[in-house]
Structure 1
């Protein structure tokens, strides 16, 4: 049965202003299956989304959609919108409704409102349904938090008449309740859907995953678990094929060397026999010319074989994914079980939840700090890190700590990772530091660049390296949403790195799949009634 919703890419390419070809000859058809578009940061997912939404012209090729497309970008600046209704995309409808209610008879207003006469009630109902009943259509958009801004923009998607939704990282600023609501809404959507996301829970709800890489688009008929399994299988197959090609190259190069040595031996023997037989000079010269021609032909044939073998190895290498295993050389940060780490007594935060908090942590405890947006999670980490003073109470950190905020502000953008790390560790040999950075997935070509030029995943690993490989490594890590904006390989690398860490950990995140892989022992949850300690 033919799908009523189709969106087709036909030979789509896109060239950056620098001349670099970001997308090349993409051909794919999307149907009514809920589809996720995944790929590494910088692969061109957002550019492709804008092309499919009609917001950006392809350099070549075209995109054909069966109906209207509603696009939700990754970054939604509240200052670009005046009111909540404008952010939700329904301001023109409300304006037309106001004019009609005031007695206006403009046919354009009646045509605009056809099928939307209840838009005001629908907007209020949708706002209430996602916990935003306190907002009004004319509430200034600049008053909204990042999570509220995202939720209002998503309402515009559900209220639109679009056949297609293209959503670019819609869960980045949502708390757990917001993400749960998003999942339910996506499952109820009956039109075409293309979701760009790195959230494993959202990806698991998809019926299809399409991966964008330098080699193009590749489709997987299933959710995240199936995609991850197939990706691992493909990686294993590619590694075995690469090893086979390398062995074949080495075997044939050895055989060519033996062939060349035999040929040279025959030539030397022929020259010796001719000399001993006192052959005429003309015969010796002719034999020498034939020998040289034969050697030249052999050299040409062997050069061609070497090129073919090298090309086959390179092609096999190209089938390998770029994922790099992360190795953390255990820094001297291990904590005895009885060692005091953190003491909070009747602590009141300057912002967010003002309920007093009492907490005593000992040893290498791994704790998630959870709660709704605005509840005070980030504020708590800032108070513990010493960046904010508590409104009241005691906050005592008893070990070396490191705080990584959402924007990694400690990683100076104009300085390279290697420079920053050498400043933190003047004892270690630079070659040792380079090796440790490489084992974290930061190769030599990247560690000397200004940190501003690194990807989000690279910047996070660099910031952690500066804390964990310092002369005095951090024994308590305070991480504020470290998994936000990371692509899937970078997220998996972060999970692997934190699993190897032997200090204490306090981490703020709304990513349940991410938290579930960190070996947590407890959660410190901030709810309406205050703080709760929950054992895992």
Structure 2
């Protein structure tokens, strides 16, 4: 690594999309040594900022200054399936030259290609081993690897370069529990500058500080994500107190202004009465009336100014209180009586080799977590239960209305609005009923008229969930496939709240153990080696 102090500094950084939509405006931020978790709502600009730091995007204005070498792991890793592992790692040329020299070819270009890197193979294999990829070998192709292995391979390529700055964008997306543990270990061992964008609580609890991108500015919090949540909760409690105080002061100033206006009116009536009765010389009464009016006018102006100041203090305090609206899914027709059979699986053999031997029954409002390595067949099992795929043999029978939320969120028609998409699933519902229910999913007023194509990631998820939950008949078995992928922490909290209020049966395929625990899982199913077996939360938390 570089011997110079490593840092990443953004000065007056601005960026807008080609259509003019602003993302960042005059941002000032600097990242120094240590692990930084970059958090914020969907659409705040986190991924865009990482791309600017990595040089993948050019700023519209301002500068990005980096000391040292930067390595960047994008959110969606795509690798050419024909590439060999050593080509992805960037060591194929040196490795080929090394093999040529060992075979007796002393050509000068081979020595130039190797340089001082005579242990290139050992280093590459060591990095692969640290990430749990020690068994894949350097000669295999990317096409032979799973999606999770491809992500770890790309990370291995970055680590092998020994960069000074490592930028990670949602690195645990699509990683199974075992791969996540390997990535966590790599993050813990990192000693340079790291900036990681993630919704993974376990990963964010490994960082040294949190940088929150909110309303175009970065706020810093020492400690990991749990410490950040505590600090934020304290800030919000103080902000709510300040808002209550400002609101009370605003009401008092309104009363005092009203009282001042009443007193002024009384004085005017009294002065007019005295003037009409001519109890004193006209010039004296006129002077008194003018003095009273001036005094009352100054008094009124003073109260009006105080009212304006009180309103400004209230508005400022209200801005500091965040909108933490939660989705509500307390729909009566989703409830399942305890003991009622919801799902029956009998000697089920799936496509691609997975199977459920014997029988499996889901009864009442049980909550099942479906876990397993990438490629084990979790999505195939859910699609078979949903009726999208036919089993090779055996039976998968649902006894209640069922809905399936896929990873790709491709349920919506891009050209239709949110309300129109929901209407597709509930053709018998009136427009007023649809809009009233959409409000529970935070689509109020004009937001329900947004076209699906314009929705952010979090909005798309809420719209898809709304379409499925508001369908007729209402689903009493809801199946979710990796629902927290690409959701920010606020959206994950909203989803958790929604599932807490859902009264039907639930099956969730996910690698996010804290999320699974937060939604009250009652049974854990492990899909491994083509077999489905029951396990425990404790066993899941400590995968081999």
TM-score (norm 1): 0.89
Structure 2 counterpart of 1:410: 411
* Residue 141 of structure 1, CA deviation: 3.8
* Residue 163 of structure 1, CA deviation: 1.1
> Matched residues in 1 for 2:482 and 2:298: separation?
64
* Residue 27 of structure 1, CA deviation: 3.3
Match for residue 108 of structure 2 among 94, 100, 105: 105
Distance change (3 Å), C-alpha of 1:98 and 1:38:
farther
Distance change (3 Å), C-alpha of 1:81 and 1:92:
farther
1:516-535 matches, within 5 Å, as 516-528=517-529, 530-535=531-536
- Structure 1 residues 394-413: Cα deviation after superposition (integer angstroms, max 9, x where no partner): 11111110001001222222
> Matched residues in 1 for 2:343 and 2:66: separation?
56
Structure 1 counterpart of 2:540: none
Structure 2 counterpart of 1:230: 231
Tell which deviates more after alignment, 40-49 or 61-70: 61-70
> Matched residues in 2 for 1:139 and 1:299: separation?
83
| Kept in 1: contact 2:344–2:360 (CA 8 A) | yes
- Structure 1 residues 8-34: Cα deviation after superposition (integer angstroms, max 9, x where no partner): 424332130444543234334433322
Structure 2 counterpart of 1:216: 217
* SS of match in other structure, 2:268: helix
Tell which deviates more after alignment, 274-283 or 160-169: 274-283
* SS of match in other structure, 2:254: helix
* SS of match in other structure, 2:207: coil
Structure 1 counterpart of 2:374: 373
Structure 2 counterpart of 1:385: 386
Tell which deviates more after alignment, 448-457 or 281-290: 281-290
Distance change (3 Å), C-alpha of 1:253 and 1:532:
same
| Kept in 1: contact 2:36–2:209 (CA 8 A) | yes
Distance change (3 Å), C-alpha of 1:270 and 1:480:
same
Structure 1 counterpart of 2:542: none
| Kept in 2: contact 1:14–1:58 (CA 8 A) | yes
> Matched residues in 1 for 2:518 and 2:401: separation?
25
Tell which deviates more after alignment, 351-360 or 526-535: 351-360
| Kept in 2: contact 1:11–1:24 (CA 8 A) | no
Gaps of 5+ in 1: none
> Matched residues in 2 for 1:208 and 1:520: separation?
31
> Matched residues in 1 for 2:195 and 2:310: separation?
41
Tell which deviates more after alignment, 309-318 or 224-233: 309-318
Tell which deviates more after alignment, 134-143 or 47-56: 134-143
- Structure 1 residues 15-59: Cα deviation after superposition (integer angstroms, max 9, x where no partner): 304445432343344333222111111111112112222333334
* SS of match in other structure, 2:346: strand
* Residue 349 of structure 1, CA deviation: 0.7
* SS of match in other structure, 2:351: coil
Structure 1 counterpart of 2:343: 342
* SS of match in other structure, 2:527: strand
* Residue 200 of structure 1, CA deviation: 0.3
Distance change (3 Å), C-alpha of 1:55 and 1:148:
same
> Matched residues in 1 for 2:95 and 2:312: separation?
62
> Matched residues in 2 for 1:320 and 1:4: separation?
42
> Matched residues in 2 for 1:276 and 1:88: separation?
103
- Two-structure CA RMSD over aligned residues (Å): 3.1
1:75-154 matches, within 5 Å, as 75-79=76-80, 82-91=83-92, 93-94=94-95, 103-106=106-109, 113-127=114-128, 130-132=131-133, 135=136, 137=138, 139-141=140-142, 144-154=145-155
* SS of match in other structure, 1:342: strand
* Residue 423 of structure 1, CA deviation: 4.1
Structure 1 counterpart of 2:243: 242
Distance change (3 Å), C-alpha of 1:434 and 1:246:
farther
Distance change (3 Å), C-alpha of 1:462 and 1:19:
closer
- Structure 1 residues 161-186: Cα deviation after superposition (integer angstroms, max 9, x where no partner): 21111111111021111100000111
TM-score (norm 2): 0.88
Distance change (3 Å), C-alpha of 1:400 and 1:117:
same
Distance change (3 Å), C-alpha of 1:71 and 1:423:
closer
> Matched residues in 2 for 1:61 and 1:8: separation?
14
Tell which deviates more after alignment, 355-364 or 482-491: 355-364
* Residue 424 of structure 1, CA deviation: 3.6
Structure 2 counterpart of 1:9: 9
Tell which deviates more after alignment, 209-218 or 383-392: 209-218
1:34-433 matches, within 5 Å, as 34-79=35-80, 82-91=83-92, 93-94=94-95, 103-106=106-109, 113-127=114-128, 130-132=131-133, 135=136, 137=138, 139-141=140-142, 144-214=145-215, 216-277=217-278, 304-354=305-355, 356=357, 358-425=359-426, 430-433=431-434
> Matched residues in 1 for 2:113 and 2:253: separation?
73
Structure 1 counterpart of 2:477: 476
* Residue 422 of structure 1, CA deviation: 3.5
Distance change (3 Å), C-alpha of 1:232 and 1:525:
same
> Matched residues in 1 for 2:430 and 2:299: separation?
49
| Kept in 2: contact 1:352–1:379 (CA 8 A) | no
| Kept in 1: contact 2:385–2:398 (CA 8 A) | yes
* SS of match in other structure, 1:351: helix
* Residue 122 of structure 1, CA deviation: 3.0
Distance change (3 Å), C-alpha of 1:225 and 1:344:
same
- Structure 1 residues 343-375: Cα deviation after superposition (integer angstroms, max 9, x where no partner): 111101112525646311111111111100000
* Residue 248 of structure 1, CA deviation: 1.1
> Matched residues in 2 for 1:500 and 1:424: separation?
21
- Structure 1 residues 202-227: Cα deviation after superposition (integer angstroms, max 9, x where no partner): 11111211111115111111112111
Gaps of 5+ in 2: 538-544
1:11-30 matches, within 5 Å, as 11-17=11-17, 18-30=19-31
